[in-house]
Every structure is written in C-alpha cells, then in structure tokens.
Structure 1
C-alpha cells in the first residue's frame, strides 16, 4: 500500500440538509491553511494522532459522506470521522431558543446544515489561536502558516503541500527568538512555548470545562483563546470568545441594532440562547454580519526584522 492510498474508509450518513463545506471550514484558517483545505470538492485535514501523523478526507457521494484515512493515524481518524465532520454536534433545543429573536431564527433556518466539528484535539487549534491573539487576520495567518511549515512535516496522502501540525515537544524546545521570523513577538512566542510544554496534560482533558480550566491556568491564555479552542476541540456550542475586538459589536449590531458594545452587553444579548451562545456567534460570522466600521484599520506589523 502506497502513501497515496487510504488505509481505512468509512461511510457516514449525515442528517438532511447537512452542509459539509460550511461545517468543516471551521477547521481551517482560510482557504490556504497548510493543514486543512478543499481540493476538488473533497475536504482534507491533517493532524497528529496518538498513532502518528494522519490525514482525513471527506467528500459527499449522493446522500452519504465518505471518509478516508491516510498514514499511521488513519484508523484513529476514521473512528472519529463523524465527530470531525460535525455529525455528533448536539443541536437539540437551538431551533426553539432561536425563535425568541427574528435574526437568530433566520440564521437557524438558513444555516441549519452547519454543524460544529469536534476534533478531540487541543494543541493544533491552540497553536492557531495563540497566533491570532491581538493581531490582524493577515498577521495571524502568516505566523501560523510559517510555524506549521517550520516545525511540521508533509502530511500522508495524495495532496501535495498539506502539512501535519508540529509536535508540541519541538515547539517547546525552541527559544522564543526562533519565532521572530514567523511574525511572533516574544509575548506570543513564550505563550506558545508554555502551551506546548503543557500539551500532554491538555490533550488528556475529557471535556470543555476541564480544558478551559487548564488552558486559562497557562500564563498568556485567557477566556478568548480558551473559547476558540474548546469550540472546535469539543464542539462546545456555548463557548463565547470574550475579549474579541469585533464579536461584541457584531452581536450588538445584529441583535439590537447597536454599532458598538462591550463584552458585558454582548453576553446580556446572548443570554437567551445559553447553551448555544457560541453557535449564534458562529452563524453570524457565516452569514457575514459585521458592525459598521469607524476609524482607520489596524496597521499590519512585522516582527521578522525586530
């Protein structure tokens, strides 16, 4: 068997209306994520598993979803393919809660096929979230992609240019200045190194509450970063990214017609949807809701020449 042939396959039966692209795109940082992408209507996701590196592909075939695993981690990925595709996401009760607000009710109807993935993995999503802390999206992507390509390795399977995320031990062992050419200043680099040192303990977390507690105990990781991680690692539909620059304004604009809001106001507006507050935020982003912009854009910076 060659590296380009799947080690294992599985056929899944998604619910009516399931939207593959809308669900699994939550796993990727844009269209050019080095670890996740669509190629010819097939989604490819590479990661490291307890059995070694692996790649999972997902594509629709009629009313079914076909999963294929590549590399040493193939069996591990195939076993969890339904969760990774978002098919285990519990949406019960959301439609009823959504009816309390016309915008949320419309989101629930129009995007009912979007489900939250549950990867069961913390460090790969934590790496990306730390790169995203307090910078623009372009800065975050550059740092994330450069870090993956420096510390990661080519992923198993037929897709060229797909990478597995770094081994936490390699990241933990690197001095902070190694990350400067990637665009990570000392603060985020040291946070990433501390997270990598704690990766084994973090990966043993069995749920969102425990993971949030362990994550926020690490210096440099707060509620925003923890929410970004557990929403994808455990499909936590209630995880709200408190401390985000844009989300409070987006929520306030969509739900109350207010162009600006703080975290307290955002949480008050989301309270009627408790249990699915994070889902509301995800669907607002998917639907393209943004508050009016005032003032100049945040400038791009580069730490590579510091």
Structure 2
C-alpha cells in the first residue's frame, strides 16, 4: 500500500477515485466507430464515475483526453474493444471500435451509473453532506466485467501503489494487444489486457521482471483458470459475487470488495483490510485517526446499504489526518 495519506501515490480507495477530465469541445475521431447517444437523468461527472477504473496515471487501458473525453480499452465477452466517452450539453456520446464495440455501447449507461441510485443515500454527518453537495455528478460505475477489476486488485495486495501500477503497465503492454481503433496507434497506444489463457501462460520470470511475487502471481493464475465462473458472478448480487470470488485462494474480503465496487457498482461493498481507509473514516467522522476495521464499520453503520458511497464521499472530502508515519518501503523483486 502507498505511504500514509500520500496525495500523489495512493490507491483509488484513498484518493476517492477521481480523474481530472478537462472540459472540451466535440472532436471528430480519426477513424469513426459505432456511436451511441445517451442522456443521463441527472448530473454526471466523468472523472468521478470512471476514475476508479484507472490504475495509475500511466494505465495503458485508460486515458483522459484533452478534449474532455475518457477512453477505455477492455476485453469484453465479444472480444477486445475501445470506448470513447464524452459529455456535450448534458448528453453522453459513446463511440466504440473493435469486436467488443457493440457490447461496450450496450453497457454504456450502466458504466456511467444508470443502475446506481444516488437518491437512496442520506448523509448522516456534516462532512459527508458537504462532500455530496460538492460532488453532484458522483455515480457508481458498473463495468459488468470481473477479471478486469480482479487482476489489478490482486496486483495491489500489500504493496505500494507505484509497484502495483508498474506491474499492471508492464504485464498489459507485454502480453496484451493493441486497442482497436485510433487509440491503438501512435507514440502512446492503448492496450487491451491479456485474455485468461494468456495470463495463464505467462512464465514465472516475466512475473518476476514485472515485480510480482509468487503469491500474487499464483492468485491470478488460479483466478484465470476459473475465469468463466468468475465472470458469471456479474449476474449475482454483490455479496454473493464476493463469496464466489473469495473461493479462489488468495482472494480475500479486501480484493473482492475492490472488485465488485467496479464490476457491480456495489454501493455497500466497503473495503476492509485497507491500510489507510479505517483511519481516514475514523478521523473524518469521529476524530479517531487510529480507528481499525471494527471501528470503521461501526461508524459506517448509519449508512448500511450505502457504506461504499459514504466512504468515497469521505475520501473526496479531503478530511484526512496529517501523515505521521514513514511511508511503506518500496520493494522491487524484479531487480533481485
């Protein structure tokens, strides 16, 4: 995990999952793809909604364009696809390329929070109410893809985020494929993550070069061997999906929660076992920087059914205690 409360090197959980997306004007893509227009029923902030899907500023599967767009390269059930999303005048324009284009466009509303119900959330603390007021465009994304969130979450287990992001970048670029459409060309092409069989065939020394220890690599290998069963969990309730994910040795409550928050848009899947989150929640709601998981869950009880949303709003509030401990030491097994 990243250093305590470090603002520039933290997990999506710690920073609240926000990506800065500059305002822009419509721009014609170099090679037009399939298009879908969709009008959300309320405020929509692309950076807030899609931010948790980015694994670091150099994520080869995610890009925030200067024209206000967000690009994602995904491995869908129909194959690889690239999606470009932008909001103009309150209307969303989605454009997609590749074999997975139709699937991505069909998933577009849920990706942008159409299945989420922000009105079900009732703030119980002033700091939470203020954060909600300042972030009216926050909705919880639902990608409909499990491995896409599970694998990078496993890579983030018990290491600094810099290490985890570097491993994700290295493995996706080394073993993935170029994103379909205009995003896959140029000096900084986007990439689609490897298919399950490709993950399974990565040799041990390549995991080592990417800085991934045997424990995390083994967890990913076990997961991709049952990839079809794990992807079926998208059709299950979030709690049941977590139970299925945790059957895989090496996948615990932290990893399963981080996964279903993205794949299912799970509003109540609060992350437990996190190095930073209990202290941040404890500080914001009770002035207790030393809160543990038990104390955090007790403080979040008034938000039952919406605990993940409450935690995100707390993270976005900026109410974090000053760092007083040294950062977690970085390790790089790839250099050993």
TM band (smaller chain): over 0.9
1:305 is matched with which residue? 335
Among 87, 91, 94, the residue aligned to 1:60: 87
Per the TM alignment, residue 116 of structure 1 is displaced from its structure 2 partner at its CA by 1.0
1:14 is matched with which residue? 40
2:9 is matched with which residue? none
Q: State how 1:189-204 maps to structure 2 within 5 Å.
A: 189-204=217-232
Per the TM alignment, residue 166 of structure 1 is displaced from its structure 2 partner at its CA by 1.0
Q: State how 1:92-103 maps to structure 2 within 5 Å.
A: 92-94=119-121, 97-98=122-123, 100-103=124-127
Q: State how 1:33-182 maps to structure 2 within 5 Å.
A: 33-40=59-66, 41-94=68-121, 97-98=122-123, 100-159=124-183, 160=185, 161-182=189-210
Question: Are residue 260 (structure 1) and residue 283 (structure 2) matched?
Answer: no
What do residues 223-246 of structure 1 show as CA deviations (whole Å, max 9, x unaligned)?
000000000001001111100000
Do the aligned residues in 1 keep the contact of 2:131 with 2:316 (CA within 8 Å)? no
Q: What stretches of structure 1 move > 4 A for 4+ residues in a row?
A: none
Q: Which sits farther off after the overlay, 27-36 or 232-241? A: 27-36
Unpaired runs of at least 5, structure 1: none
Per the TM alignment, residue 4 of structure 1 is displaced from its structure 2 partner at its CA by 5.4
Report the TM-score, using the length of structure 1 for normalisation: 0.94
Question: Are residue 219 (structure 1) and residue 219 (structure 2) matched?
Answer: no
Higher relative contact order (CA 8 A, sep 6+): 2
In the aligned structure 2, how far is the partner of 1:67 from the partner of 1:36? 15
Report the TM-score, using the length of structure 2 for normalisation: 0.86
Question: Are residue 23 (structure 1) and residue 49 (structure 2) matched?
Answer: yes
In the aligned structure 1, how far is the partner of 2:132 from the partner of 2:330? 35
Q: Which sits farther off after the overlay, 44-53 or 283-292? A: 283-292
Among 261, 265, 272, the residue aligned to 1:231: 261
1:241 is matched with which residue? 271
In the aligned structure 1, how far is the partner of 2:276 from the partner of 2:220? 23
